[in-house]
Amino acid sequence: MIKDIKALKEMVKELTVLYVEDEDEMRSGSELFLKKFFNFVETAKDGEEGLEKFQTNRHDIIFTDVMMPRMDGEEMIKKIKEIDNNIFCVTLTASEVRLEDIKEMCDLYYRKPISYDDMNTVLQEIVKKFNL
């Protein structure tokens, strides 16, 4: 386990991130937060847009809300897993209602918003997953 968050940031900074969230404020705030760790962070407002952006850019990591219009996070993840079953996925949700459904599909899951401490855990897992 790497204790130094600066070292973790250096290891993961070149990985690309897609953040999918339907709430504008949460999406823009989380984008700023994630840019503290990753050089490339792209956002989408729902699962449909997230899937389109993933098909274009093939991100390394996806952070997604569950409940969204047009296409929810669960459906988006299923479709993305058909393209790349090894995608690293972090689910963020405000409720526990559908969390059980999505646990099997994602590497990590947290209640929104993700905290700095949670992000430390996420970075540790990313380092393991990508053998950095």
Each residue's pLDDT tens digit, 6-52: 888 899 999 999 999 999 999 999 999 999 999 999 999 999 999 99
Query: Are 37 and 15 contacting, i.e. CB atoms less than 8 angstroms apart?
Result: no
Instruction: Give the separation between CA 48 and CA 109, rounded to whole angstroms.
Output: 20
Confidence of residue 117 (pLDDT cuts 50, 70, 90): confident
Confidence of residue 119 (pLDDT cuts 50, 70, 90): confident
> What pTM did the predictor assign?
0.91
pLDDT at 97: 58
Of 13-17, 44-48, 64-68, 99-103, the one with minimum mean pLDDT is 99-103
Phi and psi, residue 40, nearest 5°: -120, 110
Residues 6+ apart with CB under 8 A from 127: 2, 8, 11, 12
Mean pLDDT of 119-132: 88
Tokens 């970075």, residue located: 123
CA distances from 76 to 3, 26, 65 (A): 33, 19, 10
Mean pLDDT of 78-107: 81
CA distances from 64 to 59, 73, 107 (A): 13, 6, 12
Domain positions in the chain are 5-130
Q: Is the pLDDT of residue 98 over 70?
A: no
Q: Which CATH code is given to the segment(s) 5-130?
A: 3.40.50.2300
In this structure, which amino acid lies at residue 88?
F
Q: Is the pLDDT of residue 96 over 70?
A: no
